[in-house]
Chain A
Amino acid sequence: MKIAVCIKRVADSEARVKIAADGKRLDEAGVKFGINPYDEFAVEEALRRKETAGAGEVVVFSLGPAAAQETIRTALAMGADRGILLQTDAVPADGFETAKALAAELKDGGGGWDLILFGKMAIDDYNHQVGPMVAELLGLPCVTAVAHLEIDGAKGVAEREIEGGIEVVEFPLPAVITADKGLNEPRYPALKGIMAAKRKPLETKPVQLGAGSVEILSLALPPDRKEGKIVGEGAAAVPELVRLLREEAKVL
Chain B
Amino acid sequence: MDRGAGSTEQFVPARYQAPLPLEQLILQDGAQGAGERMELDVLIVGAGPAGLACAIELARLAKAGGKELNIGVLEKAEALGEHSLSGAVVNPRPFRELFPDLKDSDFPFRAPVTKEAVYLLTGGGQWRLPTPPSMRNHGNYIASLCEIVRWLGGKAEELGVNIFTGFPAAQLLVHGQAVTGVRTAASGLDREGGQTASSAAPNDLVAKVTALAEGTRGLLAQAWMQWQGVGSENPQIFALGVKELWETKRPLDRVIHTMGWPLPGDAFGGSFMYPLEPNLVALGLVVGLDYRDAELDVHVLLQRLKRHPLFRPYLEGGEMVEWGAKTIPEGGFYSLPERRWGEGVVLLGDAAGFVDVPSLKGIHYAIQSGIHAARAIHAGRLGEYDEAVNRSYVVSDLKRTRNMRLAFKQGFVLGGVQAALMTLTRGVFPGWRYKMKADAEHPRSTPGLRPGSADVPDGKLTFSKVDAVFKAGNATRDSIPSHLIAKSAVPDDVARFYTHVCPAGVYEAVDGGLRINAPNCVDCKATDVLGPRWTPREGGSGPKYKRM
Contact residues of A with B, CB < 8 Å? 14, 16, 30, 32, 185, 187-188, 190-192, 194-195, 198
Contacts and interface: CB of A to CB of B under 8 A. Distances in A.
A14 B473 contact: yes
B200 A190 contact: yes
Nearest to A227: B459
Given A14-B475, A191-B203, A192-B38, 19 more contacts: A14-B544, A30-B546, A30-B547, A32-B546, A185-B198, A187-B198, A188-B200, A188-B539, A190-B35, A190-B36, A190-B200, A190-B203, A191-B36, A191-B38, A191-B164, A191-B167, A191-B184, A191-B205, A194-B164
Nearest to A184: B197
Contacts of B197: 185
Interface string B301-334: 0000000000000000000010000000000000
Dominant SS at the A interface?
Answer: loop
A194 B166 CA distance: 11
A230 B167 CA distance: 42
11 contacts: A14-B544, A30-B547, A32-B544, A188-B187, A188-B198, A190-B36, A191-B38, A191-B167, A191-B205, A192-B36, A195-B38
A30 to B, nearest CB: 6
B79 interface: yes
A30 B151 CA distance: 12
A213 to B, nearest CB: 37
Interface of B: 35-36, 38, 79, 162, 164, 166-167, 184, 187, 197-198, 200, 203, 205, 321, 473, 475, 539, 544, 546-547
B206 to A, nearest CB: 12
- Would you list the 3 A-B pairs with minimal beta carbon distance, nearest first? A185-B198, A191-B203, A191-B38
A187 B197 CA distance: 10
A185 B198 CA distance: 7
A153 B524 CA distance: 54
A195 B162 contact: yes
Contacts of A194: 162, 164
Contacts of B539: 188
B203 to A, nearest CB: 5
B39 to A, nearest CB: 11
Contacts of A190: 35-36, 200, 203
Contacts of A185: 197-198
Nearest to A188: B200
Contacts of B187: 188
A123 to B, nearest CB: 15
A14 B470 CA distance: 11
A188 B196 CA distance: 14
Most chain B CB within 10 A, of A185, A187, A194, is at A194
A195 B197 CA distance: 24
A198 B156 CA distance: 14
Contact of A32 (B38, B79, B167): B79
A16 B544 CA distance: 12
A16 B200 CA distance: 30
B12 to A, nearest CB: 37
Contacts of B164: 191, 194
Nearest to B473: A14
A88 B272 CA distance: 44
Contacts of A188: 166, 187, 198, 200, 539
Nearest to B74: A191
Nearest to B82: A32
Contacts of A187: 198
Contacts of B79: 32
Most chain B CB within 10 A, of A16, A30, A191, A192, is at A191
A40 to B, nearest CB: 12
A65 B203 CA distance: 34
Nearest to B166: A188
Contacts of B198: 185, 187-188
B162 A16 contact: no
Nearest to B70: A195
A188 B202 CA distance: 13
A16 B247 CA distance: 13
Nearest to B162: A195
A211 B387 CA distance: 64
Contacts of B546: 30, 32
